[in-house]
Amino acid sequence: MTQRVELATVMDRLAVDGLVTEYAMAVDDGDWEAYRKLFTPDGRADYRSAGGIEGDAGKVASWLEESMRLFAMRQHLIVNRRVRFGVLEQDTGDTAQVHADYVNPMRLAGDVNGSSAPDFVCGGRYVFGLLRTYDGWRLREVLVREKWRRLPDGHPAPVIN
């Protein structure tokens, strides 16, 4: 591999990593317009394993905007990112797939008898499908594979769908 190819690969990895970070920050900050802009025009997301919906990015963003009102605070921690570049139309590096683990602590909205609402924590793995576009890397697909969730004892899990 030439130095030029190696540098391009490093730059792509940084751009892909930045896109995953922008995704987490858009969800955590409730910036649904920024969330929508991260996707290709045909981009889709699937949150069904976490009790959510599957659909195009616009539909999912609207659902997230409504359902995330249950939480006063969100903070995605997306780690262990495994990036693989693929081939589209005989040109290397046009696609990428990222498998990344997440832990997502959230503070439930509301105040119960003057005390803070309990924390809701979930974790699992994201699968991001990305496509290189003229505007840079964009999400073509987001799949959430929730593996676990936890609330303090005695508190029912919130219904988010």
- State both tokens at 107: 């503070």
Total structural domains within the chain: 1
pLDDT at 150: 86
* Distance from C-alpha of 131 to C-alpha of 128, rounded to nearest angstrom: 10
**pLDDT tens figures, 131-145:** 999 999 999 999 999
DSSP calls for 27-77: HHHT-HHHHHHTEEEEEEEE-GGGT--EEEHHHHHHHHHHHGGGEEEE--E
In a domain, 110, yes or no: yes
In a domain, 158, yes or no: no
**Collapsed DSSP state (helix, strand, coil) of residue 8:** helix
| Opening angle at CA 137, ends 105 and 133, nearest 5 | 150
In a domain, 53, yes or no: yes
pTM of the shown model: 0.86
Cα-trace Rg, the chain: 17
In a domain, 10, yes or no: yes
In a domain, 160, yes or no: no
With b for 16 or more beta-carbon neighbours within 10 A and e for fewer, the 74-98 pattern comes to bebebeebebebeeeeeeeebbbbb
In a domain, 78, yes or no: yes
**pLDDT tens figures, 6-42:** 788 889 999 999 999 999 999 999 999 999 999 999 9
130: Cβ–Cβ under 8 A, 6 or more apart, which residues?
16, 19, 95, 96, 97, 98, 137, 138, 139, 140
**pLDDT tens figures, 72-116:** 899 999 999 999 998 655 555 689 999 999 999 998 887 555 456
In a domain, 98, yes or no: yes
In a domain, 94, yes or no: yes
* Distance from C-alpha of 20 to C-alpha of 82, rounded to nearest angstrom: 12
Which CATH number characterizes residue 103's domain? 3.10.450.50
pLDDT at 128: 98
Confidence of residue 155 (pLDDT cuts 50, 70, 90): low
pLDDT at 101: 98
